[in-house]
Amino acid sequence: MSSQAMPGKVGTGFPSGIAGQEAMLGKVGTGFPSGIASSGQAPRRRLSLLRGLARGALLMSGLWLAGAAAAQEITAARYEGPTTRYPHGVLGDEIEHTGLAVTLSDGRVLRASWERDVVFEDTEPRLADLDGDGAPEVIVVESHETQGARLAIWGMVSGNLAQITATPFIGTRFRWLAPVGAADLDGDGVMELAYVDRPHLAKTLRVWRYETQGRTVRLREVASLKGVTNHRIGEVDIAGGIRDCGQGPEMIVADAGWREVLALRFDGAKISQQSLGAHRGRDSFARAMRCETLQ
């Protein structure tokens, strides 16, 4: 695997070795009708797009390169560029990241970074095929200096790594959200994304549908449920996720007081909840995610 960053990478002054770990999550969802990969939404002005190219590809014609790039899919993603410019600190330290790097199926690495205002405030990027074209998109949490967090989707747009769409920011600095996951929760063939909005404060699960119309993508909030959480201040991971124990996807979270582990279902209209048993730490979530009975 060879890659090289184009000149102009935004320097952070931090050593490169402490960037986020590789995310190697499996694809979510198959059997969807093939769709358009992404919208033509232009990257934001302050976002500098950095693109790594394999050495061999540089020798090829532009036409060949364009065709090859369109066929490549993201196989891994990680955060890079540690920064302390957004010292919220709910994920165990005050280091967040400015950059997102993805590895493509041909080994190339593409990079993008926020020069100011926004950081990736997250545990790791998640890969999931949200539009059903067979290639994954990247789900991240971004936080704005004055507006707090939002859920954002990145992916390949015309051969480049770009942000495809995002939810609105929460609206206040140092307000965060913790992803639960992505799945077709209600079985209608369209993917949903779920997160807990302010897991330490509002403790509200929100479900957004990933809607594509032609080249336009938008996230539409379709349901919410108060009184659940999946993260406590200082924890370096996010509890639970989405499981499927043979009867459709369920979102695994805790009740607001961390007494019980809950399985939530979305039927297309509302969210229902079922207690799986007492919460006794991360092992309870691990057991629930493995479809095991809680002790």
Q: Of 50-58, 166-174, 184-192, 255-263, which part binds Ca ion (CB under 5 A)?
A: 184-192
**Token digits for 293?**
């009975």
Contact 295, 276 (CB under 8 A): no
Q: Which of 121, 122, 133, 250 binds Ca ion (CB under 5 A)?
A: 133
Q: Which of 145, 188, 221, 283 binds Ca ion (CB under 5 A)?
A: 188
Q: From CA 150, how far away is CA 289, in angstroms rounded? A: 25
Q: Which is nearer to Ca ion, 72 or 83 (CB)?
A: 72
Q: Of 50-58, 128-136, 233-241, 255-263, which part binds Ca ion (CB under 5 A)?
A: 128-136
Q: Which of 80, 124, 142, 184 binds Ca ion (CB under 5 A)?
A: 184
Q: Which of 104, 135, 151, 253 binds Ca ion (CB under 5 A)?
A: 135
SS3 227: coil
Identify the bridge partners of residue 255 per DSSP, sorted by sequence position: 228
Q: From CA 184, how far away is CA 30, in angstroms rounded? A: 10
CB of 89 to Ca ion, least distance (A): 33
Q: Of 158-166, 185-193, 218-226, 236-244, which part binds Ca ion (CB under 5 A)?
A: 185-193
Cα dihedral 226/228/229/230 (nearest 10): -130
Q: Is 271 in the site for Ca ion (CB under 5 A)?
A: no
Give 90: exposed, middle or buried? Use CB within 10 Å, 0-12, 13-18, 19+. Answer: buried
Q: Which of 121, 131, 197, 250 binds Ca ion (CB under 5 A)?
A: 131
Give 150: exposed, middle or buried? Use CB within 10 Å, 0-12, 13-18, 19+. Answer: buried
Q: How many CB atoms lie within 10 A of CB 36?
A: 15
Q: Is 186 in the site for Ca ion (CB under 5 A)?
A: yes
Q: Of 133-141, 158-166, 212-220, 282-290, which part binds Ca ion (CB under 5 A)?
A: 133-141
Q: Which of 121, 129, 142, 250 binds Ca ion (CB under 5 A)?
A: 129
Positions touching Ca ion (CB under 5 A) are: 129, 131, 133, 135, 184, 186, 188, 190, 192
